[in-house]
Structure 1
Amino acid sequence: MAKFRKLLFLRHCKSYHQLINCLLLLIIAFFCYRMSINCQHGLLPTKPQVVITSVAKTRPAQLLSKDHILGTQLKSNLSVVTESTPSSFDTLSLPRLMSCQKPALKSIIIAEKTIPLMTVAKCIKFCWSETALYAALFNGSSCYCTNVHGSGNLDKDSNCNVACRGDLALRCGGSDQWMFYKIAEADGERGWTTWMSYGRTEKDMNVYRTRYRGCPGDKRSRRSCLVHLHKSGSAVKTNGSPLIIDHFIGCFTNQAWDLPDNRLILAKYSVNTTQDCITSCQTIGSLYSILNVKNCICSNSLGWSRPIDTCVYGFGALVFSTSLLKSDGVTLKFEERLTQRQVAVVAHYRGGSTFASLMFSNYPNSLYVFEPASVFGAVWVGVNNSLARETERSRIFLERIYPLWFKCHAQDLPGIWLTKYPGWGNHNSGFSVFNSCKKAVGSLTGAYKCSAFIEEKCLISPVVAAKTTRMVHSQNVKRFAQIETDIHVLHAFRDPRAQLSSRAQLELVYKKNQLSHLITSCWELNELSTVFNDDLKDALNTHVVHYEDLARDVISSAKQIYREMNFTLPGEVIRTLQESTGKGKVKKAEKKYAYGTIKNDPTSLIDSWKKKLNHSMVNIADNSTECRKLFAKYPDKFKPLRDMSS
């Protein structure tokens, strides 16, 4: 009853004996209380409003401790859980909003709970108690805990619009959408790594397992750390030899051990048993003995390896200490990231981005992904304006997906990305081990486990690149380039009439009237040209390449872009570019590339639009204010047809 008296409209009651006036108010108050309606400022519920606040800056280690979960500091932190996007996507802050997406597969749920008076904090606390990495809220009162970032297509944030039953000021998912928060890490610093099983077959799984924490998670720097090693399972003996588990550290990714001239390898042997490997490395005094398939590698560093639990499927290397692990502590040594350049290629659809991306996707040992923006699916319900849809997608993609990709946080990428992408066969590079592992392990959980191979590849690749079309809203691109200054943003630019002509050929496939997009394309290209040529003209990480220049002389264009990036163009890339454009000894088939944007003779596509567009289409471009403005900015590139020489 004391709680009811706190309501503003009950404070007028001097006494409970005033039955006529107060009894009615008490009934209303009781109704509000039972229905979780905020009646303090009136008798009717108000429209839910999203409160935009900032994440409280507490130490991540505190967030993950059980004592902290039960303490008042957690309550203080979760009371300001953000639903807004920060000035930059902080891959370290916890908890953080990750996405609004379609419902996930039931198979990834490790715990679930329906709470009548649900809040974001209650769901996160529940999933923390279940040692989950993600908390997902649905329809105002349901909470799901997972170790995978969902499995559905990403949706617009505003569709996660159902108010929390216990706090109408916050959102708890949508009526058909899950709202994902990252709440814990498995990075070996703020949280335990994944369990790593000893063995080379599935029969060995869970016989003996280890995991560790206490090692700084900054993948960019070299580090040595004394970690706490958690062991679980029964002992394993081999022909009366010492207990192997007294040396076993864990299972780690192993792509780096196949790098040419790997300076971290002190010796390599062919051995028959694990004990032979340990003994061989003890003889030369190395810290670690690494059983990589049939090879025994001795090293004083783990290089760029990531903990993984796929050795029982035949993917990964078993790592042992050459000295007995008499306590729960072991020293781990890792190396700084090898990546020299990170490149994001952006363009309008049919703008020549695939052509431009060849400059980086074929760099030796590179990691490159083609069209990762497909995680959104084809259509967003409730968004009729295509420009508005792509603007929102662009914001989400550039603020949340690209930072995860370029900062080697592959395990935080949406689950649908890990299962369906990277596809596109020959267009991607650097995913062979991940794809083989994913096929062997199976299921979405398997894709999540195997994603550690993407993280390792990201750390050891000299070039990490990605290209996407449509995600090019000018202000979103500008903001991304200003925040992520270590990522080079390359805009592939093409005559809008040529884009229109190319799109029109695919109209039967895409069921769209491409002509209607011409004026919009000119406007968007004008906006982007302002960003790249004016707003960011002094930025060292923004670049523009014209499709027409690539088509006429791809090698000169590539050399120019590499000079701007202060990078050396390797001979392998030059040969690939020559072969792809018919200027080398080997001519690749046109059908190998998407929809023929690259041909043996790409110069034939520069002015092909003149023959393919009818007179009315050309007039639209010539007479449009936006298109004329664009032509004026690039008089040496684009001109109205009437001003061109025949």
Structure 2
Amino acid sequence: MEAPSKNAPRINPKLVKTQAPSHEVALKPEAKRKAYLLVTMYRSGSTLTGEMFNRNPEFLYYFEPLAIFGNNNAPLQKMKMLNETFHCKAPDATNYKKYANPKESTTTNCLNEGVCMYQLSTRFCKPPFCWNPDAPATQCKKQCSSPGSDKAKLRHMERICKEEVNSVAIKTIRFLDLKRLHPFYADSYPIDFKAVLLVRDPRSMYHSRKKIHLGLLHGNQKEMEGYLQILEQECELVAQNLELLSNTRTLESRKTFSIRYEDIARDPIKYSKAIYNFLGEEFNEDVSGFLHDAIAPPKKKLDQSKATYTTSRAINETTILNGWRLDKMVTPSELNRIQQKCSKMMKLAGYLPIKQERKKDLSVISVDVTNKYGNL
């Protein structure tokens, strides 16, 4: 999870190459290559949303390759990794070791494995990357070694990108400011770039983050102050993004599909089809079949599986819209602070403030599901 910095340097487009890195061989000339970026936040429901890319055999999908940067706000280097990955260079985390915090477990894992969070991409949980017949479609870390630990596998990843697919899709929670992505949006960029901006009720995100921090990570209440500060910065950036996208004359608006988690979770097939239509892609049976499975009852509860990135869970409207209201995890002071600091973002995205005394009264709605939001 990244804490965006207001003082971070603005990206200089000249520092981001708009052509293939020099190591490239000629890519398939018959069609302009495509690059898709799912831009979102920690605990936003992006694992579910990202599966519409992950389960498509026509895409090469990477789950959070920017995790190597941890909380380090290094926008130019992040842009460099994204650009090279779009151009079929494997996102080898070891190339960015100087930007990794060795005290963060996520970045340590990235350096040990080479490719961050490889186990959450179905392609790397099956041959030729993994030959274990017991490997699941995702979460295959126990059965499959990282493709980044083997230079031959890294080269094969690049061959797949160049010769077998025409689209690279990446999910990230570490690059939330759409304005900084302008070099990719530019018409001069040699790859057909589009983004999907996924937002979620900040109260729900905070509830989920706190539940994991206090439960699975055995943290304490005092440490939640840092989470609140990060959430406030994220709300500010999301509000800026939504205002940017409201101007239909901008490149960002024309090339970005914005969507709420609350909408896609309630009707994943409908909204996945809408996103595919926006991207100009065919909504195939693999994607449709997975999304049907994703809303089936879970085999394990979250606290049993110890998995923080999962899609196999029972999904119902009460949980989607009001899960944060069903317990005491979010304190009255935290609720007031979130609703105050995130008020602009909430208003733009259709999230309604709730008074503490009405928190458990589910007849009082907290998400406006009647009004049109985003691209629909």
Q: Distance in 1 between matches of 2:55 and 2:49?
A: 11
- Map 1:171-320 to 2 at 5 A: 217-221=25-29
Counterpart position of 1:524: 237
Instruction: Please report the TM-score for the alignment, with normalisation by the length of structure 2.
Output: 0.69
Counterpart position of 1:321: none
Counterpart position of 2:176: 472
Q: Distance in 1 between matches of 2:285 and 2:250?
A: 31
- Aligned match for 1:570, one of 284, 294, 301: 284
- Map 1:31-110 to 2 at 5 A: 86=14, 88-91=16-19
Residue 594 (structure 1) aligned with residue 311 (structure 2): no
Counterpart position of 2:154: 451
Counterpart position of 1:557: 271
Letter in 2 for 1:487: F
Counterpart position of 2:203: 497
Q: Distance in 1 between matches of 2:146 and 2:232?
A: 45
- Aligned match for 2:324, one of 587, 606, 609: 609
Q: Distance in 2 between matches of 1:368 and 1:456?
A: 14
Q: Distance in 2 between matches of 1:444 and 1:450?
A: 5
Bigger radius of gyration, 1 or 2?
1
CA contact (8 A) 1:370 1:422 kept: no
Question: CA-to-partner distance for each residue in 1:80-131, whole Å, 9 max, x for gaps?
Answer: xxxx8725324557xxxxxxxxxxxxxxxxxxxxxxxxxxxxxxxxxxxxxx
State the identity %. Answer: 21
The Cα RMSD (Å) is 3.5
Counterpart position of 2:90: 410
| Structure 2 CA distance for partners of 1:406 and 1:548, relative to 1, 3 Å | same
- Aligned match for 1:351, one of 41, 44, 59: 44
- Aligned match for 1:619, one of 327, 336, 348: 336
CA contact (8 A) 2:196 2:258 kept: yes
Question: CA-to-partner distance for each residue in 1:212-254, whole Å, 9 max, x for gaps?
Answer: xxxxx32132xxxxxxxxxxxxxxxxxxxxxxxxxxxxxxxxx
Residue 628 (structure 1) aligned with residue 361 (structure 2): no
**Secondary structure at 1:470 match in 2:** coil
Q: Distance in 1 between matches of 2:264 and 2:281?
A: 18
CA contact (8 A) 1:488 1:541 kept: yes
**Secondary structure at 1:345 match in 2:** strand
Q: Distance in 1 between matches of 2:81 and 2:275?
A: 25
**Secondary structure at 1:86 match in 2:** helix
**Secondary structure at 1:601 match in 2:** coil
* 345-354 vs 457-466, which moves further: 457-466
Counterpart position of 1:366: 59
Question: CA-to-partner distance for each residue in 1:314-351, whole Å, 9 max, x for gaps?
Answer: xxxxxxxxxxxxxxxxxxxxxx57x8643211111112
Q: Distance in 2 between matches of 1:500 and 1:465?
A: 27
Counterpart position of 1:541: 255
* 469-478 vs 445-454, which moves further: 445-454
- Map 1:129-144 to 2 at 5 A: none
Alpha-carbon deviation of 1:455? Answer: 1.1
Instruction: Please report the TM-score for the alignment, with normalisation by the length of structure 1.
Output: 0.42
Counterpart position of 1:401: 81
Q: Distance in 2 between matches of 1:361 and 1:488?
A: 16
CA contact (8 A) 1:345 1:357 kept: yes
Q: Distance in 2 between matches of 1:401 and 1:92?
A: 12
Counterpart position of 1:307: none
CA contact (8 A) 1:350 1:597 kept: no
Q: Distance in 1 between matches of 2:83 and 2:340?
A: 40
Relative to its length, the structure with more helix (as a share) is 2
Q: Distance in 2 between matches of 1:350 and 1:537?
A: 28
Q: Distance in 1 between matches of 2:182 and 2:201?
A: 21
CA contact (8 A) 1:353 1:492 kept: yes
Alpha-carbon deviation of 1:473? Answer: 2.7
Q: Distance in 1 between matches of 2:113 and 2:166?
A: 25
Alpha-carbon deviation of 1:579? Answer: 0.5
CA contact (8 A) 1:496 1:521 kept: no
Q: Distance in 1 between matches of 2:80 and 2:271?
A: 31
Q: Distance in 2 between matches of 1:620 and 1:411?
A: 38
Q: Distance in 1 between matches of 2:23 and 2:272?
A: 40
Relative to its length, the structure with more strand (as a share) is 1
**Secondary structure at 1:545 match in 2:** strand
Letter in 2 for 1:458: C
| Structure 2 CA distance for partners of 1:445 and 1:540, relative to 1, 3 Å | closer
| Structure 2 CA distance for partners of 1:599 and 1:478, relative to 1, 3 Å | farther
Question: CA-to-partner distance for each residue in 1:21-59, whole Å, 9 max, x for gaps?
Answer: xxxxxxxxxxxxxxxxxxxxxxxxxxxxxxxxxxxxxxx
Question: CA-to-partner distance for each residue in 1:355-392, whole Å, 9 max, x for gaps?
Answer: 1101110013532111101222x46xxxxxxxxx43xx
Letter in 2 for 1:543: F
Q: Distance in 1 between matches of 2:211 and 2:52?
A: 26
Q: Distance in 1 between matches of 2:63 and 2:148?
A: 23
Alpha-carbon deviation of 1:540? Answer: 3.8
Question: CA-to-partner distance for each residue in 1:591-635, whole Å, 9 max, x for gaps?
Answer: 5763456622153132111233122122113333xx22223323x
Q: Distance in 2 between matches of 1:568 and 1:444?
A: 28
CA contact (8 A) 1:588 1:600 kept: no
**Secondary structure at 1:367 match in 2:** strand
Counterpart position of 1:316: none
Q: Distance in 2 between matches of 1:622 and 1:443?
A: 41
Q: Distance in 2 between matches of 1:549 and 1:574?
A: 17
